[in-house]
Every structure is written in C-alpha cells, then in structure tokens.
A and B are shown apart, each in its own frame.
Chain A
C-alpha cells in the first residue's frame, strides 16, 4: 500500500500549529541492518514526494535508523535525527472507520519487523514473535495493580500515577502514553519507545515503571516526544493529520 503526497512538507505539516522547516531531499542517512541481516529485495512501501521529487523507499533491511534532516532544524511532528521513522507520517493504513489512519511509531516498528520477517525469514519467525507477545502480556499483567489490570483487560490501556508529579497518565499499548486530567481528558500525548521493536506490553510495562518511580518520572518525560492537545481534544495528532490527508486526497 502506498500513498503519494504532493507538495513540500511545510504546507501540510504546518497544520499542527508549528512552523515546519522544509525538508531537503538530501539527508536520509542510512539504513542499518539489524543483526547484520541483509535483504536483496527493494520494496516500495511508501511513496512520499516530500520534496516533489523524492521518494522514500523502504528496503527490507531498513529496520534501523532512517530520518530526514531538515536544514533549519527539527521538523515538526515527531522529528528526531536519530529516532526511527522520524519523518512523520510515514506509514498509513486504510481503516473502515477512520479512512486513512496514520500508525504510531511502535506500530510502524512492528509492521517493519513483520515485513522483514516475511521477506527475509519467509514467515518462520511468526510463532516466535507471537510467543514473545504472550510472554510480554503475562509479565505486564503480573505487575499491574488490580485496578490497572481491570482497565487493561477492558480498555487495552491502564492509568498510572506519576511518582514525582502525581500526574495521571494513561498508558496505551502500542501508542505511547497520555497525560490526562482528573476527568479523563487528554492534555498531552507522549511517544516513548525503544529504537527497535519490542512487544507492546513490554513497552507499556517499562513506561509504567519509569513513570511511577519518583526519581525516574521526570527523566522519562524529558526523553519523550510531546504533543500538547489541550483539554477536550483528541489525543492523537496523527489522527488529525490523517483526517486532513483524507480531506485533501480523497474528498
């Protein structure tokens, strides 16, 4: 599946309330293979004309660091020169309810892992990956409080209280975490995950441990990528972007 986005990125990134530096087409540094694996298939996963000429080609061995360097500094919307998939959004899927849906970072990592496993390992690692998810889910449940466990089972997310600030955070599997108000409204979203894919439940458990420890909470918040959405707003900037994309491309 691919989508084509025409025009410079500054136009369609600016809707997120921040001025976006134009991205040059130079500066896709490198794809570093994981564990030395090397694929022979060039696979066009996404065509993104972020400078009216360039394409982003996802190679099977591109499970590593890929980014676009903006001449004027970080690009708005999830840019980090050394993070995975910093040029956002990169991966979309068609969803019957939301139309075009931009996936979160963890979901992109997972997709790329599965894609790599399919192409390189011919699907032989599917069971291994499924077993990893089961183990991760089990260890997460072991370390949730009873109320968190109920929330996790019923909603797929759970709330946690910051050890230092006493803020309430909602940790979602595969979707970072959000700072929520006492009424449950999302104030800010945070993206914080390892640079390589690990099961969502492991990321959620690690996030919970970081946030609940008084000495570690601020460190976690400092390292997370933040988007402030305001009270009453939807938590997902990617969702707002996807909606705008849908209006422009499909409508």
Chain B
C-alpha cells in the first residue's frame, strides 16, 4: 500500500492507494498534483530517511508532502502587489 502523508495545519492528512487498484492510484495522483500546485514538495521515506522525489510513483511506500521552500527571489507575493495597487485591504496601508 502506498501512503501519502501531508503536513498541514491539521497535523497530517493521509492518502492511501493500492498499486493494483487503478482508482485509488488515480485519486492519489490527483491529490499529488493538487499539492504540487500548492507548492508542496515530496519526500519518499524509508527507515527515517527521506529522498526528494519529483514524480508520483505508485510503487512508492510512504511519501511525505512537506511545504516547499521559496527562494529569496521568489518571495514577492500577490498580497503585497495587490495592496500596493489599491486592493481591498489597501485601506490598512499606513495606519497607526
């Protein structure tokens, strides 16, 4: 059985799949893609050691999805841009 553990604010969420069951594999792949789009990275874990993997493998045993790391150059977020452009929360700019 393959297992995907997602580290998030609820502690962790578990998604399991059976390599022989196409439906569960497809479901796990969908979850994988969604997490990847959200910025998660994946580590295949064996005996307390993790190895970063980039592709979903249905033969994987346990995989942990951990939040990805933003490089310093990638840290500009939409929030700041929206605020500077006069977004809905821009009324808070300069308060105090």
Contacts and interface: CB of A to CB of B under 8 A. Distances in A.
Binding site of B, secondary structure by majority: helix, strand, loop or mixed? mixed
B95 A145 contact: no
B66 A209 contact: yes
Contacts of B51: 213
A73 interface: no
B21 to A, nearest CB: 24
A223 B72 contact: yes
Interface string A95-138: 00000000000000000000000000000000010011111100
A27 B94 contact: yes
A53 B96 CA distance: 7
Interface in B36-80: 41, 43, 45, 48-52, 64, 66-67, 69-72, 75-77, 79-80
Binding site of A, secondary structure by majority: helix, strand, loop or mixed? loop
A67 B64 CA distance: 31
B11 A55 contact: no
B9 A26 contact: no
Given A27-B94, A57-B96, A194-B67, A65 B80 contact: yes
A9 to B, nearest CB: 14
A29 B9 contact: no
A223 B69 CA distance: 6
B7 A198 contact: yes
Given A64-B79, A65-B77, A206-B67, A196 B9 contact: yes
Chain A residues touching B, range = 35 or more
B51 to A, nearest CB: 6
B75 A80 contact: yes
Contacts of B9: 132, 196-199
Contact of A135 (B12, B41, B50, B71): B12
* Most chain A beta-carbon contacts within 10 A, residue among B66, B77, B84: B66
B96 A29 contact: no
A81 B82 CA distance: 13
Nearest to A217: B52
Contact of B12 (A53, A56, A139, A219): A139
Given A31-B92, A209-B50, A213-B52, 18 more contacts: A25-B94, A29-B83, A29-B84, A30-B89, A80-B72, A82-B75, A135-B11, A136-B12, A139-B5, A139-B12, A143-B48, A144-B48, A197-B9, A198-B8, A208-B50, A210-B66, A216-B52, A222-B72
The 7 residue pairs across chains A and B that have the minimum distance between CB atoms: A135-B11, A54-B96, A30-B89, A206-B66, A29-B83, A30-B83, A132-B11
Interface of A: 25-32, 53-57, 59, 64-65, 67, 80-83, 128, 131-136, 139, 143-145, 148, 192, 194, 196-199, 202, 205-206, 208-210, 212-213, 215-216, 219-220, 222-224
